[in-house]
């Protein structure tokens, strides 16, 4: 694992943007996996800047999002589809045909999930998957207890996640309880995963993820098994770590 600890959220966003921009420049027809939530917003702003200021080209990419709430149509203010278009896609040269986001209103959820898996395969797999982490150690909506080999499917959200997400919803009755999510197994097939975490709220989850046992109780801990996990976290998110993580080397803090 390559773990980089940076000073703060701004530096984290800068570093994540460097990684993603390099991927797009080196392989313009990359397949990228995107996450939603608060954490990648700084990254997405920097990608927009790179498009506007130096013509970073998104036109050949294929994209897959990790997850979507069940019951919200793509145009719903709080849907992840809406988030992606308003936060990133509307501001760069991406068209709908390049973009894949699970459909929250799919009539047959199971076949939709299978279709989603097939589309990832047909696209040649994901080159770089951007990930955030929940305070409970979830990745995408694979909550604690999710099978580490799981595939795209419908999941009940943990009550903590429902509470954490509630801040994004004006009408608390609309806070979803189910999501379609790529599985841990799906995510781990990406050639590279880029896990981002910022703030003290994530410190405990990052300790379990990087220094704990690999366990379904911390689905993000599966990054320990990935062939190239790149973890970029800020000082606050790293504050509970017992070890220094530096250039892939792990040492006790006092050495
Ligand atoms: C979103 C997703 C979630 C978030 C996680 C962290 O697509 O998959 O796992 O990455 O809940 O959310 P924030 O960044 O808002 O703290």
- The ranges assigned to domains in the chain are 2-252
Q: Does residue 29 have an active-site annotation?
A: no
Residue 108: count of CB within 10 angstroms of its CB: 9
Write down the pLDDT at residue 162.
Answer: 86
- How is domain 2-252 classified at the architecture level of CATH? 3-Layer(aba) Sandwich (3.40)
Write down the pLDDT at residue 187.
Answer: 98
Query: What residue's CA is closest to ligand 1, atom 1?
Result: 36
Q: Does residue 14 have an active-site annotation?
A: no
Residue 198: count of CB within 10 angstroms of its CB: 24
Question: Which residue is it, tokens 């990254």?
Answer: 43
Chunked in runs of 10, what are the mean pLDDT values of the chain (255 residues)?
96 98 98 97 98 98 97 91 98 98 96 98 98 96 96 91 82 88 98 98 98 98 97 98 86 78
Write down the pLDDT at residue 158.
Answer: 82
Write down the pLDDT at residue 255.
Answer: 60
Helices (H) and strands (E) in the chain, counts: 7, 12
Q: How many residues does the chain have?
A: 255
Intra-chain end-to-end CA distance of the chain, in Å: 20
Strands 178-181 and 99-100: unpaired
Q: Does residue 136 have an active-site annotation?
A: yes
Q: The pTM is what?
A: 0.95
For ligand 1, whether the C-beta of 219 sits within 6 Å is no
Query: What residue's CA is closest to ligand 1, atom 2?
Result: 140
Write down the pLDDT at residue 165.
Answer: 77
Write down the pLDDT at residue 184.
Answer: 98
């Amino acid at each position: 694992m390559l773990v980089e600890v940076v000073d703060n959220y701004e530096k984290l966003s800068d570093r994540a943007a460097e990684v993603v921009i390099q991927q797009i420049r080196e392989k313009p027809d990359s397949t990228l996996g995107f996450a939603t939530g608060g954490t990648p917003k700084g990254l997405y702003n920097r990608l927009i800047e790179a498009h506007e200021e130096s013509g970073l080209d998104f036109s050949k990419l294929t994209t897959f999002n990790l997850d979507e709430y069940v019951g919200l149509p793509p145009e719903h203010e709080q849907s992840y589809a809406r988030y992606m278009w308003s936060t990133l896609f509307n501001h760069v040269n991406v068209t709908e045909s390049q973009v894949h986001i699970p459909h929250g209103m799919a009539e047959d959820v199971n076949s939709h999930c299978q279709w989603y898996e097939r589309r990832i395969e047909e696209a040649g797999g994901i080159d770089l998957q951007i990930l955030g982490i929940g305070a409970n150690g979830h990745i995408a909506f694979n909550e604690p207890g999710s099978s580490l080999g799981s595939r795209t499917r419908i999941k009940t959200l943990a009550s903590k996640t429902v509470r954490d997400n509630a801040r994004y919803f004006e009408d608390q009755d609309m806070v979803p309880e189910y999501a379609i999510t790529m599985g841990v197994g799906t995510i781990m097939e990406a050639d590279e995963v880029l896990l981002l975490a910022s703030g003290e709220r994530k410190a405990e989850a990052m300790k379990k993820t990087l220094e704990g046992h690999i366990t379904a109780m911390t689905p993000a801990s599966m990054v320990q098994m990935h062939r190239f996990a790149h973890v970029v976290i800020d000082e606050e998110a790293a504050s509970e770590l017992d070890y220094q993580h530096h250039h892939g080397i792990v040492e006790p803090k006092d050495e």
